[in-house]
Structure 1
Amino acid sequence: MGRKPDIIRTVVLIFAVGLVVTGFTSLQASDDEPTASETETVIVSAVRN
């Protein structure tokens, strides 16, 4: 039973690292300019119809 706290700490550490990586990538994604403006999106959807 002495090994369970190690396993719990490992799972929590992996979860925390995942949260940090997800937060960092979402911050970088929001800094990027959008790839298409609203008018380009409307034009593309009109072409599909």
Structure 2
Amino acid sequence: MIELHAAFIRTADFNGVWIVEVPKGSIEPKIIVGKADGNFAVFNHGKA
């Protein structure tokens, strides 16, 4: 199962990210919503 997932969303109603985490051994997700007031960029930091 995926432990951490991020969805980057740009629509007329929402501009930002939804992050969903399901810790190992749990079935209850933790959801973080980050809303941007303008344009944003997604970079691949720390990955080769």
Please state which band the TM-score falls in when normalised by the shorter chain.
under 0.3
Q: Which has the higher contact order (CA 8 A, sep 6+)?
A: 2
TM (norm. structure 1) is 0.21
TM (norm. structure 2) is 0.21
More strand per residue = 2
Report which of the two structures shows the higher radius of gyration computed on alpha carbons: 1
